[in-house]
Structure 1
Amino acid sequence: MGSNHNMSFISTSTFSSRPSLDLILTRPPSYLSAPPSLNLPDYHPYPLPGEECIQASPLGRPRRTGTYQKKSGSVTLILTEQPENTSSPSYGNQGQVNGVIVLEKRDVVSEVYVKLEGEMNLVIPDQGAHTMVLFEEEQLLWKTSNQSNSTSTLEICPSQIPFSCRFPETFMSPMAQDQLLPLPPSLDVFYPGSLLTRIKYRLKIKVVQGRRRQSSAQSVLGFLGRLGLENFKILNVPIDYLPHTRPPYSVHHLICGPLSVPGFLSDLKRSPDEWVQSISSIKSSREDIAPCVDCHLFIPSIKIFSLADTIPFHIILTGPIRSLQEFVPSSCLPSPSPSARRNSSRSATAQKCSESVIYIYILRQICAKINNGESSAEGTGVRAVRNIIIGHGVVREVPPSIDDDLGRGDEGMLKWEGELSIITGSLTSNLGTFDAGGICLRILLY
């Protein structure tokens, strides 16, 4: 072999039997077939008896292949990538609006525009109202290059004009000191006599008909066109903008796994990162007789859930026995003696406390604010707050266990566990939390 510098993997003086690097990289690997006696395990989408789900990621949404169509006169709008048989087009995070404008009377068209815009409206009766443009994006899709209405040089508009525009990720809110905030979802909530909140998006098609053949019947329109008073057609299409945040993993393993057994405190010590704890004090009207009770609420630390998720939770009440006696029926209380608590029958305690005294709900809170004047400082303006129950929990009493010993004879502990779920079809239940300056939506456990 010659001494070509591009072939320097093999020596020119001694030929080696070892294959060159480029041959090794391009040679396909060899695969060994499994012996016939090796039986591969069966796979199932759900755990079988004796198995448990450790972790599962939620499935992605299938690609949408439907179309949305709307016609007004000689203008037809077709939007692609929509759900089948949809009555209103919808898009997700920074959704891209793709479509086609179909025109019939093309010889009179001089310009074609498409505009995507968003607007927020707030009304608090007897207090004030506010309207704010979230964003506007307009594109000139086609414009004639002719400067005259001569029929010999008339440029005909295409019969189909494709377009594409995208929802922005953020918008600038003057009600939040000109901060860049994430674009909020579509919203339409009305409480008669108290609050109206509306966030709406729309796609606007504008077809300018500034050219007319100068027939006797159209001479007036042609004259108005030369004066700049063009005739135009507007096609407005409301659009639902529904951004979603996909949870990184499912919380199903916290329900079917070992963390749902009565020994929750022991499992919490082994997996503290799986849960987040919130502590609040429950005060009595006579603290000299019944001191306050501490309420410990545990929910999955992920804090982002799918609308279809069943969310596990644990509630633990700790405090003096005399306070717990005022809070719950005496039949549900543990014995003051730790040894007696260990020897008590768990099943008997569960039967006595079958009727829970704990209720938990998923609360959607809608906050609206209208600033007075131009100031957007915190604390100024008019505020309105409304709450909606969008989910509820199933609560079960947890029998006492050996882990319940608090180390003091006068202290007691009561435990509950359960699951939360969204009420299907409830108002705003399909919306996540957001803050748009004038409007914010929060989720609370109540």
Structure 2
Amino acid sequence: MSIATPHSAVLDLPSYSPSSSAPHYSPEPSEDECRLVFVARKQRDLVPTDVFAKKAGGVTLLISGQDSGVVVPTYNRNGIVRGEVLLDDEAAVQSVSVKLEGSQSTSIVDGGADLVELFSESLTVWSKPRSDIAGPSTLTPPAVLPFAIPFPKGYGEGQSVKPLPPTFNAQFSGTHGIYVECKYILTVTVTKSGLGGWKRQKLLTTPVSFEPRSRAYMPIGRDLLPFFSTIKSAPGDWHQVISKMEVQPKSTLEPLECQLFVPAVQIYAFSDIIPFHLHLRGSRASLASFVAGPTPVFKLPKGIKALSSTLKLGSSSRTSLDSSSSSFMDVLTPQVSPVGHDSSNVRVYLLRQVCVSVDGQKAWGEIVLGEGKISPLSSTRAAGTDGEYSLDWEGEVRCGSAVSVGSFRSGELVVKDFIVVELKPPVGSPSPLKYHRHAHPIRLVTDSCSDSL
């Protein structure tokens, strides 16, 4: 009888062939592939390599990673302030520290003021050992003192942490004038020993600009104008905003319906050129009063087109377009005849509203960020004289070059942006129509989604 040893009971492992190489991957689809979802990402900007320098009282501050010629060091979200401190005289120096702090102040005329300390981060760059402070010592700091202080992710504690507001300043005069400032300061403190044990401090301060970047989730769309061509082929690229130009209480005229069409994304970059279309419709007497003055003219000016009385749009003041709405498509008749109305009493522009609340009192101010360029359109007149009529304009609007901060909210401070349509009754005799202004909320961001990879 034989007994198997443990060694003889071990089975031989099967042989394995080398694994095949991983397939080649590419961000671009092959000829037989297509993208199902694609969100463009802005190209990563080259890291700035210039240095911001400031000197005062024998202390020099160098901040790296800046664009050439900047007046104020600028940082994005999660930025880190990196730099160096240089001293002309290191003798008797006991410590060198750097502090980065942010604050938000708001005030209302005759309504009080509020100051919020967003954060305060201090860093001791160099200090003399405690054992050497009391007695004489020749220990001096190095010639170059590097430092790095990060911006915090937000301010507040626990569940109430809020994003840091961008650097911002606004002032509005008037009875309920307001003042708003969000600022960030970098301070270098050099402490030296003096006679009789007194300490002397030298301070160097510089403002720091905090400009968090943001972008839209989708582009505006290309070649949206002329409107009558794209609304039929791509109605989802437009968003419709409906408002009414009301009439005076004793007037027998009917209100005019104002339809403003803007790109559907409703999130626009400062650099984006925003196309829009304005459609004004109503009875021929109301439209004639808007164009020609308070006396209704039964013969319409050129450029006004009649609409079938059966055409009705939704009554919502903010509604997206429905590509299945046949009645909506019927309104959009291509233009063929000369125009007979102007744009002197029609205005489309970008508006910023700054709202603050201090001790329960609220106030706000408004800033025009950009004026629209608007042109009247010619149109055809449909058959029938008992229907509704319309006028059309189209144009473009964009932010001015001075705009560098987008919409944001920080505690009791809210900065909101709108695209506004304004209709003014004709100047002269009292008009049966009321002044009309409708503001539709949008969001302004720093970067355009159309930036390529």
Q: What TM-score results when the alignment is normalised by the length of structure 1?
A: 0.71
SS in structure 2 of the partner of residue 352 of structure 1? coil
Aligned to 1:34: none
Aligned to 2:212: 243
Pick which of 318-327 and 237-246 moved more: 318-327
Verify: 1:113 aligned to 2:101, yes or no: no
Whether contact under 8 Å (2:104, 2:118) holds in the other structure is: yes
Verify: 1:25 aligned to 2:21, yes or no: yes
Q: How many residues align?
A: 368
More helix by share: 1
Tell me how far apart the structure 2 counterparts of residues 121 and 4 of structure 1 sit (CA, whole Å).
79
Aligned to 1:324: 287
Deviation at 1:149, TM superposition (A): 4.6
Whether contact under 8 Å (2:304, 2:380) holds in the other structure is: no
Distance 1:352 1:5, change over 3 A: farther
Aligned partner of 2:373: which letter?
A: V
Aligned to 1:334: 305
Query: Which aligned pairs between 1:186-265 and structure 2 lie closer than 5 A?
Result: 186-192=167-173, 194-210=177-193, 221=194, 223-224=196-197, 229-251=198-220, 253-254=221-222, 256-257=223-224, 260-265=226-231
Verify: 1:421 aligned to 2:392, yes or no: no
Tell me how far apart the structure 2 counterparts of residues 318 and 311 of structure 1 sit (CA, whole Å).
23
Tell me how far apart the structure 1 counterparts of residues 11 and 85 of structure 2 sit (CA, whole Å).
61
Gaps of 5+ in 2: 1-9, 26-38, 293-299, 310-329, 421-453
Deviation at 1:289, TM superposition (A): 1.7
Distance 1:86 1:6, change over 3 A: farther
Whether contact under 8 Å (1:188, 1:199) holds in the other structure is: yes
Verify: 1:386 aligned to 2:365, yes or no: yes
Distance 1:125 1:435, change over 3 A: same
Query: Which aligned pairs between 1:27-426 and structure 2 lie closer than 5 A?
Result: 61-149=45-133, 154-172=138-156, 179-192=160-173, 194-210=177-193, 221=194, 223-224=196-197, 229-251=198-220, 253-254=221-222, 256-257=223-224, 260-267=226-233, 270-272=234-236, 274-286=237-249, 289-329=252-292, 330-331=300-301, 332-335=303-306, 346-349=335-338, 351-355=339-343, 357-371=345-359, 381-400=360-379, 409-425=386-402
Deviation at 1:325, TM superposition (A): 2.8
Tell me how far apart the structure 1 counterparts of residues 350 and 246 of structure 2 sit (CA, whole Å).
23
Pick which of 304-313 and 412-421 moved more: 412-421
Aligned partner of 2:395: which letter?
A: G
Tell me how far apart the structure 2 counterparts of residues 80 and 411 of structure 1 sit (CA, whole Å).
65
Distance 1:154 1:398, change over 3 A: same
What's the CA shift string for 1:263-292, capped at 9, x where partnerless?
Answer: 34423xx441x2332222221114762222
Whether contact under 8 Å (2:231, 2:238) holds in the other structure is: no
Deviation at 1:354, TM superposition (A): 4.7
Q: What TM-score results when the alignment is normalised by the length of structure 2?
A: 0.70
What is the identity percentage for the equivalent residue pairs of Structure 1 and Structure 2? 25
Tell me how far apart the structure 1 counterparts of residues 13 and 344 of structure 2 sit (CA, whole Å).
81
SS in structure 2 of the partner of residue 266 of structure 1? helix
Whether contact under 8 Å (1:91, 1:242) holds in the other structure is: yes
What's the CA shift string for 1:179-231, capped at 9, x where partnerless?
Answer: 43321122222335633222211001112224xxxxxxxxxx3532xxxx422
Aligned partner of 1:415: which letter?
A: D
Tell me how far apart the structure 2 counterparts of residues 242 and 424 of structure 1 sit (CA, whole Å).
16
Whether contact under 8 Å (1:356, 1:395) holds in the other structure is: no
SS in structure 2 of the partner of residue 263 of structure 1? helix
Whether contact under 8 Å (1:262, 1:399) holds in the other structure is: no
RMSD of the alignment, in Å?
3.7
Gaps of 5+ in 1: 11-19, 30-54, 211-220, 372-380
Distance 1:364 1:358, change over 3 A: same
Aligned to 2:16: 9
Whether contact under 8 Å (2:341, 2:376) holds in the other structure is: yes
Distance 1:384 1:5, change over 3 A: farther
Whether contact under 8 Å (1:113, 1:141) holds in the other structure is: yes
Aligned partner of 1:163: which letter?
A: F
Aligned partner of 1:189: which letter?
A: A
